[in-house]
């Protein structure tokens, strides 16, 4: 096989998008655990002209919205939907009060499908007749539906290694005291068993997160039981309490933030000195979004097709079974290369981050930032003490107003990078920006194009703006400057329409969802 000289050092994994997308190794398994007790079906909010909205409806609605977004952005994640405090039971452990919701041709924990989303959106209409609702923890009975639900969720998340897969349980409930109906030693024993079950689940690398639903006149009191289950103490409890008046409106946004939190792209070594090396995780913060890749489907079964490539000998017409040998003609000779030799030629560096020194922050210019930066944060998984060394370096850089100059030895695209320390930013609602460092990829010298003067001669006969024109143009530029602008404020209308059409086709909807183009000018505002 002839060797392409220009492609010799081309990155087989597309080096330009190395930090653009999260890898499959960071995929996530999630179990949505929804309380289905009669209390969840009580009217949480009612308008005069509309049907009263229940907490159960709010939970199902935000899960459906989350799955729609998830099937587009991270379709390889796997999810399961589980109800507890139900009359009917459906789970592999045959435990009472727990119903694992699923559709045909799908495992209990599997990738979200259009059929799952469609069936889930209508589950409330026939929930009482098909599944039923009841209180699973009542006086005079040793039955513990919350314990059973955690057990079933843990069993669903059994597959996959905790090192390569993030596992989570999202619990929806409006009952802050699930054991309030029982007293005495029975209550103490059931609370102890439930907390131990939660601890065993967390010890397996499964995180448990609570999305509480509050009543308009009564706030969810997490300190009664769930604070101990989640491991909250002190200020964490007060910061966790949701706003009772805004919980229904914010539920979908809260779930989206938890589902689409930043997940690491890869882990790299950071060599600070000769004998000092720490480990950091890298995160892709802002990246361009594009439509998903085209997937070829079978016209009969609608299943994905697998593409295979074979080489045929030009002389005999037989399939070539031997490993390919690459060659390059040089001075009338054929120079052969093996795959191992090509890999060694491409492998320019060891893939680590090497600290070279420090420079003042004013030496770093805006035009040095050619492409989106990568956020790095320490980890102690492999090298214990990495966080402590990183914090010391981070604090010193902030105190002396310096950025670190480093060499990032990417396997196929080595270059100099600037590490800019970012301090933690908090507000009354919690953390806004985490502490860490931004890795800015510095340009090569030929990447910078210097401004060329069009009119070099003083007496050149060329149109020039008057001082009054320059003054008015400057004033106009200042007036149209957007304050506190962020790219996150505007959705891509083309992508929104693309996914809106896919959603309508997949869910069998007659009408396409209405897409609001936020990039269009405000005609009403301009007229004023």
3-state helix/strand/coil string of 275-341 = CCEEEEEEEECCCCCCCCCCCCECCCCCCECCCCCCCECCCCCCECCCCCCEEEEECCEEEEECHHH
State how far the Cα of 81 lies from the Cα of 32, in Å rounded to an integer.
5
Burial track 147-168 (b if 16+ CB lie within 10 A, e otherwise): bbbbbbbbbbbeebeeeebbbb
What are the Cα distances from residue 348, in Å, to 94, 222, 412, 413, 414?
A: 57, 54, 7, 8, 8
23 tagged catalytic: yes
Number of H helices, E strands in the chain: 13, 18
Q: Which of 23, 159, 199, 359 is catalytic?
A: 23
φ, ψ for residue 378 (rounded to 5)? -75, 160
Of 129, 172, 165, nearest to 149 by C-alpha is 172
Instruction: Please name the helix (run of DSSP H) or strand (run of DSSP E) that holds residue 523, with its range, or none.
Output: helix 523-527
Q: Contact, 328 vs 337, CB < 8 A?
A: yes
Of 288, 282, 274, 262, nearest to 408 by C-alpha is 282
Of 70, 72, 88, nearest to 80 by C-alpha is 70
Long-range pairs for 440-449: beta carbons < 8 A, 24 or more residues apart: 440/364, 440/368, 440/369, 440/373, 441/369, 441/370, 441/371, 441/373, 441/408, 441/415, 441/417, 442/368, 442/415, 442/416, 442/417, 442/418, 443/367, 443/368, 443/370, 444/415, 447/370, 448/367
Burial track 405-437 (b if 16+ CB lie within 10 A, e otherwise): bbbbbbbbbeeebbbbbeeeeeeeeeeeeebbb
Just list the catalytic residues. 23
């Amino acid at each position: 096989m002839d060797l392409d000289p220009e492609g010799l050092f081309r990155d087989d994994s597309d080096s330009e998008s190395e930090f653009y997308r999260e890898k499959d190794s960071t995929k996530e398994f999630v179990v949505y655990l929804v309380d289905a007790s009669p209390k969840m079906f009580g009217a949480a909010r009612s308008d005069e002209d509309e049907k009263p909205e229940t907490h159960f409806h709010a939970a199902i609605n935000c899960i459906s919205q989350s799955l729609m977004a998830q099937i587009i952005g991270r379709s390889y994640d796997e999810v399961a939907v589980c109800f507890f405090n139900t009359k009917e039971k459906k789970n592999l452990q045959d435990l009472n009060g727990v119903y694992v919701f699923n559709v045909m041709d799908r495992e209990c924990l599997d990738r979200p499908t259009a059929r799952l989303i469609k069936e889930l959106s209508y589950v409330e209409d026939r929930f009482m007749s098909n599944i039923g609702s009841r209180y699973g923890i009542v006086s005079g009975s040793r039955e513990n539906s919350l314990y059973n639900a955690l057990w079933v969720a843990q069993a669903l998340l059994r597959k996959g290694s905790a090192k390569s897969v993030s596992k989570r349980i999202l619990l929806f409930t409006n009952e802050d005291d699930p054991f309030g109906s029982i007293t005495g030693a029975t209550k103490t024993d059931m609370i102890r068993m439930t907390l131990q079950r939660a601890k065993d689940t967390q010890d397996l690398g499964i995180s448990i997160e609570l999305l509480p639903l509050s009543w308009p006149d009564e706030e969810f009191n997490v300190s009664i039981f769930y604070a101990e289950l989640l491991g909250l103490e002190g200020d964490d409890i007060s910061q966790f309490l949701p706003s009772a008046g805004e919980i229904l409106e914010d539920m979908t946004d809260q779930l989206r933030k938890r589902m689409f939190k930043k997940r690491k792209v890869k882990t790299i070594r950071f060599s600070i000195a000769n004998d000092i090396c720490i480990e950091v995780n890298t995160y892709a913060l802002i990246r361009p979004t594009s439509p998903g890749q085209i997937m070829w489907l079978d016209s009969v079964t609608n299943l994905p097709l697998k593409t295979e490539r074979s080489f045929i000998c030009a002389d005999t017409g037989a399939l070539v079974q031997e490993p390919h040998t690459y060659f390059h003609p040089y001075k009338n000779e054929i120079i052969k290369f093996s795959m191992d030799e090509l890999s060694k030629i491409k492998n320019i560096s060891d893939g680590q981050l090497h600290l070279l020194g420090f420079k003042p922050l004013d030496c770093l210019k805006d035009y040095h930032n050619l492409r989106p930066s990568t956020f790095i944060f320490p980890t102690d998984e492999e090298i214990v003490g990495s966080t402590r060394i990183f914090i010391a370096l981070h604090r010193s850089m902030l105190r002396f107003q310096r950025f670190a100059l480093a060499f990032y030895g990417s396997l196929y695209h080595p270059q100099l990078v600037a590490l800019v320390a970012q301090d933690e930013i908090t507000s009354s609602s919690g953390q806004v920006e985490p502490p860490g460092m931004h890795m800015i990829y510095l340009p090569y010298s030929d990447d910078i194009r210097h401004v060329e003067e069009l009119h070099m001669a003083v007496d050149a006969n060329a149109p020039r703006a008057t001082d009054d024109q320059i003054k008015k143009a400057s004033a106009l530029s200042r007036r149209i400057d957007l304050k506190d602008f962020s790219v996150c404020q505007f959705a891509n209308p083309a992508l929104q329409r693309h996914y809106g059409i896919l959603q309508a086709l997949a869910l069998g909807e007659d009408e396409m969802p209405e897409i609001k183009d936020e990039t269009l000018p405000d005609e009403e505002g301009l007229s004023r």
